Structure 1
């Protein structure tokens, strides 16, 4: 059983809290394929409208060869939203089961509060960006991204892993052990 599934075949299995340096030192979290970022501006959160999937998403993407998860998310944020940043806060990992490829992958999760918005340049992937209050109906929003966004916001506010949903097969595991129930 999964926490949430989207229409593209991605299933959110669990969140993992660990130190960022532990990603490289621990082979339990491979492959680390991408990075996502939740960006806060005042009391709203930045999302982008993906022109191909025709849905709202949080910024992020695939880690390129030779790139760290942190470098990836800084690059992806600029490519997708035109926002240039230098620093981000590591939140943890999302464990995803890709139903199309029938394999597990991990995504690094980051957070950043910004005090200004750079003008958006429409690009090959994102048609527009929006600042969202997490409440208003905005149409189609990727289900996995929406859950990840809420998790990052709640975790950032409390400093600990928070969730409103669990099931007998899903926990929001903390620490570094793959032996923990997923």
Structure 2
């Protein structure tokens, strides 16, 4: 029984530490911006020792990469509704909700900032974009298997994700359901240039 308890406890504590550290990072990015906090600041906000952060992530860039990738993989799930039109509308609504949420803007700013943070930052940005591309490809491959003719992944980035990201990053307007649906409609319009 004690052996079983010991086996469970580290995983539970580890998950709690990871969640607290991730939340501390997104909070600090939202408040201070990228480059304006240290591992010590993250640890203090998360209520853990600096050594815990260094032991798990090694450095701040690795931690920030983990935060961005984790956020991406746990938000905006890829729907499987049986049709590309409905999949894209559901996906777009999920992305709009997630990037408009409390951590969305912070994570988008983080990914942009990482792009200018040397090789480690560029690798983090590339990992984020590769994961987003992988997610989209799953949806597009399923559509092809059903005999549908989906757009390319880059078209989804250009015509669906980019406009939403720009609106959030620059505060140029809300991501209303009507706006998000209009993006999907334009993406799927047959007049689309191949």
Question: TM-score under structure 1 normalisation?
Answer: 0.26
Q: Larger Cα Rg: Structure 1 or Structure 2?
A: 2
Kindly indicate which of the two structures has a greater share of residues assigned to helix: 2
